[in-house]
A and B are shown apart, each in its own frame.
Chain A
C-alpha cells in the first residue's frame, strides 16, 4: 500500500518570502500522479498543482512549483512571494495511474501554513 508523509505539521513564512513544504511517499509503482491540495478555512479542497511521475520536468503554476525527485520519492511544494491568501492547510496526495482500479487519493497528514504580515 502506498503511504504519504508530511513531516512538518506547521510552517510559517513572512509575507512576500518563499516557503517550501515537504512531502515524501512510498510506492512500488513506477507510474503515478502526485498532487498538492490547499484547504483554506472554508474547508474547500482546492487543487494547487499536479505532477505526472513519467514527466521529468517539475510542474509550475504561477507562484507554485514543485521539486519532484522520483528516485528519492520526494515531492516538495515551493510557494514564492507568499501572500496572506496562501494561509491554509496543505495536503500532499498520491494517486495510482492504474486506469482500471480505484482512483483513490492517498493523503498525507497535512501542513498548516501561516503567513506573517
Chain B
C-alpha cells in the first residue's frame, strides 16, 4: 500500500531531551516536507527536501533540523525541544513530475514538551 508513515504517533518528552520523528514514504517521491499544525494557525512548513541531500528551510525552521540521506526517509530532529514546540507534526511527500500537484500526508505525530 502506497503511504507515508510517521513514528512515533504520540510523544511526551521534557525540555532539552533530543528527539527524532521519523518519516518514510514508499512511493519513490522526490519531494518531502514537514509541517506543524497549531490551533488558529493552520499548518506551517518547517523544512522541505527536493531530493536526496537537498534540503531547505520553510517558514518556521527555528529549533528543528532535518536530513535526507535516502530518498524514502526524511527525519525531523529536535536537538533541544522546548514547550513552544508542542504541536501536531505532519510529514508530506509529492510524486515526481508534478503531474498531480497533490501532496500525500502522513498520519501525524502529536508532540508534547513539558
Please tell me if A102 contacts chain B, counting CB pairs below 8 Å.
yes
Complex-state Cα separation, A99 to B41, whole angstroms: 27
Q: Is residue A78 within 8 Å, beta carbon to beta carbon, of the partner chain?
A: no
Number of A-B residue pairs, CB cutoff 8 Å, is 56
Query: Bound state CA distance, A106 and B26, in angstroms?
Result: 25
Known: A45-B90, A45-B105. A103 touches B33 (CB 8 A): yes
CA–CA, A101 and B72, complex, Å = 20
**A109 and B42 contact, Cβ closer than 8 Å, known pairs A50-B102, A103-B103:** yes
How many chain A residues touch B (CB < 8 A): the figure is 23
* In the complex, residue of chain B having the shortest beta-carbon distance to the beta carbon of A110: B42
List the B side residues contacting A102 at CB < 8 Å: 45, 48, 50, 56, 58
Size band of the interface chain B makes with A: 20 to 34
Interface of chain B, main secondary structure: strand
Chain A residues near B59: list those with CB within 8 A. Answer: 104
Q: Are A44 and B105 in contact (CB under 8 A)?
A: yes
Kindly state the separation between the CA atoms of A21 and B94 in the bound complex, as whole angstroms.
26
| 0/1 interface trace, chain A 37-56, chain B, CB 8 Å (1 if under) | 00000111101001010000
Q: Top 4 closest A-B pairs, CB basis?
A: A107-B42, A45-B105, A107-B43, A43-B108
